[in-house]
Amino acid sequence: MKFGFIGLGNMGAPMAANLAKAGHDVTGFDTAGVEVEGVTVASSAAEAARGAQVVITMLPNGKILRAVAAEVIPAMEAGAVLLDCSTVDVDSARDVAAQAQEAGLSALDAPVSGGVGGASAGTLTFMVGGDEAGFKTARDLFDIMGQKAVHCGPAGNGQSAKICNNMILGATMIVTCEAFALADKLGLDRQAMFDVVSTSSGSSWSMNTYCPAPGIGPKSPADNDYTPGFAAELMLKDLTLAQQAAETADADTPLGRAARELYAQFVENEGGTGRDFSAMLPRFEKRGRS
């Protein structure tokens, strides 16, 4: 198959590389002029999209997605698929899908979970919104770039699934870090805490798989001085998107809102930028009750 891939950053580059390694014809474009092994470099997004059966985008936000869509949709052939793997607001995803459909294209919003490591290893999870025909066309691609793809319903539902998932993740990471800091002050050994909680009703992905305490549990960014697997500012972005969606939907999400406020404080005022989102633990270690 012939692919256009627009957005060759930390996530997009290894995803495009995996498609090329699988033998597909991939033409890529990035405003930073990035080159990826096996990927032909285009001079513009529109050039990357011309003649492609599937155009994949991996972009920073909804505003940029809208701008790129306005450029590539006219360049795409009827029946092609516009597959957006960015994490953006639900309204942008749905508006771009409507534009694509009006042009005779299939459109999918398919944000991912798994981080840069998952992108490189081809083990991402895709949360997909959009029409069934487009999902069937893209199914084999999901198998190359990831390990699982879930069709969540119509356009925008992939984004909805992503922000709901990450609202849970943000809140559970905060309370996991709080619990370790409390255990320290109560004199409870961290290993004992992990051994109990990871096999009890307090278990979670944040504890069992991505433990924020160095030297405890499986290897995680905590064991590398909190160098990001998933940066705190990206968690803040996703929690902000969740609160924007909750406002639009008139949904009461007090814990999601509190998690967003804590990550905003951490990123904007406490040096959290460039650190993993699990670096909330050393933050809480330094704080007393307020």
pLDDT the model gives residue 195: 98
Mean pLDDT of 44-52: 97
Confidence of residue 280 (pLDDT cuts 50, 70, 90): very high
- If phi over 0 gives left and psi between -120 and 50 gives alpha, with beta otherwise, what is residue 79? left
| % the chain with pLDDT above 90 | 96
pLDDT the model gives residue 290: 80
pLDDT the model gives residue 68: 98
Cα(64)–Cα(8) distance, integer angstroms: 14
Decide: 266 and 235 in contact? Cβ < 8 Å.
Answer: no
Structure tokens at 256: 């999601």
pLDDT the model gives residue 115: 86
Mean pLDDT of 277-289: 95
pLDDT the model gives residue 116: 87
Sign of the CA dihedral running 99, 102, 103, 109: positive
pLDDT the model gives residue 277: 98
Among 89-103, 131-145, 157-171, 194-208, the minimum mean pLDDT is found in: 131-145
Mean pLDDT of 41-65: 97
Q: Could you tell me which of 112, 160, 122 has the C-alpha nearest to residue 20?
A: 122
pLDDT of 206 higher than 90:
yes
Q: Could you tell me which of 34, 39, 33, 85 has the C-alpha nearest to residue 59?
A: 85
From the CB of residue 285, how many other CB atoms can be counted at a distance below 10 Å?
13
Question: Any idea which residues carry the catalytic annotation?
Answer: 162
Q: What is the mean pLDDT of the chain?
A: 96
pLDDT of 67 higher than 90:
yes
